[in-house]
Amino acid sequence: MEIPTIDLSVEESVATVELLTALETVGFATLVNHGVPLTLIDKAFVASKNFFALPLAIKNEYIFQGHESNRGYIAPGSETHDLEKDCLPDPKETFDIGKENEPGYSNHWPEELADSSFRDDLTCYFRTMDDLYLRLMKMIGVGLKLPDPDFFVKQCNDQHENLRLLHYHALPPDHPNK
């Protein structure tokens, strides 16, 4: 099955029908012409690369604060896909941030990257992706012909959410996860 591509620059009603069809059939789609500047995407990838290039001892200073806050660093092997089965730990490492100035929660930005645009780039990327997310929620509400087309936007906007940076380490050819 081919992954649908949704062009968000076309007429909104056309894109909405295509998005709903993709979600009802395949369950996901590739979005193009979504308005997120490639330069911002590139900056987010550079910020991610810069964080994961830090020594483990430094990354561990920003350790995951818990599931309530969903912020901080998670070392490789700390998570698994399925707690019910005898699965190997996931070899990825992550760094999670949330909305800035969210009441009761705070991001712990690496001091080691303070001279770079790490914080600004990721904060801008987070806000931009959140705007796109809310646009898609509105399109779904309209497409489903809900009495209140903003239903999903109201459920999702200003909610506790996060952005997860991921780094997958190369695995040796004989690794069981390959």
Phi, psi angles (nearest 5°) of residue 120: -60, -45
- The pLDDT of residue 173: 83
- The pLDDT of residue 177: 64
Q: What residues pair up with 32 in beta bridges, in sequence order? A: 7
The pLDDT of 66-93, averaged and rounded, is 83
pLDDT tens for residues 23-55? Answer: 999 999 999 999 999 999 999 999 999 999 999
pTM: 0.88
Residue type, position 119, single letter: R
The pLDDT of 149-166, averaged and rounded, is 89
CA within 13 Å, CB half, 7: 4
Query: Under a CB-based contact definition with an 8 Å cutoff, are residues 86 and 151 in contact?
Result: no
Residue with tokens 């996901």, as numbered in its chain: 28
Residue of 132, 152, 147, 143 whose CA lies nearest to 20: 143
Query: Under a CB-based contact definition with an 8 Å cutoff, are residues 54 and 45 in contact?
Result: no
